[in-house]
Amino acid sequence: MTSTGMATELAAIDAVGQAELVRSGEVTPVELVEAAIERIERLNPTLNAVITPIFDRAREGAAKLPARGGDAPLAGVPFLAKDLVVDIEGVRFCEGSRFLRDHMSSYTSELALRWQRAGLMVLGKTNTPEFGMSPTCEPALFGATANPWDVTRSTSGSSGGSAAAVASGMVPAAHANDLGGSIRYPASNCGLFGLKPTRARNPLGPEYGDAASGWACEHAVTRTVRDSAAILDATAGPAVGDPYWAPPPARPFSDEVGADPGRLRIGFTSRTPDGTPGHPDCVAALENAVALCAELGHELVEADMPGLTPEAGDSIGTVFNAATSWILRYWVARLGREPGEDELEPLTRVYWEMGERVTAGEYLVAIEVLQRFARGVAGFLTDVDVWLTPTMSLPPLPLGEMVSTPDEPLRSMHKSAPSVRYAGVIANITGNPAMSVPLHWNQDGLPIGVHFLGRFGDEATLFRLASQLEAARPWADRVPPVSAR
């Protein structure tokens, strides 16, 4: 077994760094895996981030790799898969729902196959709210995931288990996905870098094509910018039969890390789309980021995004409700039965009922409204290179505050709405890449990210800017109270 000392030492090294250790022969893939298992077993009882460990499977995979990793770019690097959307054959797949508590995946998703080819060692599945719908990671099936920065606080959702695992140092990086902010919100709450790629940058097959009207996308949460770029290099690109492709990058994303972004024109605002002010801590995060970007030579212009009108807001609700209906219909067909009364959480059941009432015409009208909105966003981004806001409009909320009940089935959304007023969902509607960057911690020691929205297909600019910010104000060495480091 790997010693605690070695496990702690490796916890401070990012994914790219761990892969370099394997290539140099300083450690073996098996040693990396054993060290990560030790960290998970030590921290998970406190955080509840990993809900389905597959340690022996990872050990077997690591043992099959060449001692120096061969050609795999991330050979032996420990990784975790969020228990949502992505299947791994023979592994429990619950999507946070009691309806799926005994379901086992019968195939492996294309994205997971690409992880395997890159040499990533998947050690288990991470916690997620039921079907990824809630903005906090507190499913009835597995219980709450705690934030490593304050175990009484939410990680946000829906990639909360992955974010807690990476922030605490269990693994250097973990899978995350994003239908309305679910990569970026947990990254903000947990002090991580979280990039939502361009629509269709990563594959959703073989089971899904245009998931949730094109809003859903796959990637990861990481401590460092270069890890995010390296993982995206390993996974990006269309699969056979994908309904559409993202514009291919001019060069590997890893080549953008450390490259000069040039003098960018950065639009920014502290105003939320509905005009309400953000929390002072979130506004302070924005102001600090604006000052830093100016110091780095960028042009900063105060600019509000074309408004999310009431019509657009209603259309977002229509599409989200329809997506819930699609998810439940998919699983009813796949399992061959309806969920029992105690197998769905109150929030899910209400959204399902609302989704079943959406007509085809209403759905298509909503899509048209949001496509017009997306054209406005694209026009706005011809005047600025990126748009900067706080990621969240409140610091991390207490656990339990956003949990729905039978008496208050929409409590989760009502309580969380004030925290997501900056509308991370804009990037899902438009398909644009966006990132949360951990540049600020408040007086309580809680991380608060800032959010950059980029042009469609232009992750390159975001990676260049993020790596410049990371060099100017490093964050990876910040250690939360619950940590393997």
Residues with a known catalytic role: 82, 158, 182
- Structure tokens of 195? 């990039």
Distance (Å, rounded) from C-alpha 39 to C-alpha 34? 9
The distance from CA 421 to its chain's CA centroid, rounded to whole angstroms, is 18
Whole-angstrom distance, CA of residue 69 vs CA of residue 46? 33
φ, ψ for residue 413, nearest 5 deg: -75, -40
Integer Cα distance of 155 and 43 in angstroms: 15
End-to-end CA gap in the chain: 18
Question: Distances from the Cα of 470 to the Cαs of 90, 118, 137, 257, 309, in angstroms?
Answer: 39, 25, 27, 10, 35
Dihedral angle sign, alpha carbons of residues 75, 165, 58, 95: negative
Find the DSSP H helices in 272-424.
280-295, 310-335, 346-356, 360-380, 411-416
Q: Count of CB atoms within 10 A of residue 474's CB?
A: 10
Residues forming beta bridges with residue 196, ordered by sequence position: 434
Q: Is the distance from CB of 247 to CB of 200 less than 8 angstroms?
A: no
Short-list 154, 176, 210, 195, CA closest to 420: 154
The one-character DSSP state at 224 is S
Tokens of 294: 């100016």
- Cβ count near 371 (within 10 Å): 12
Specify the residue for token string 């959204």.
351
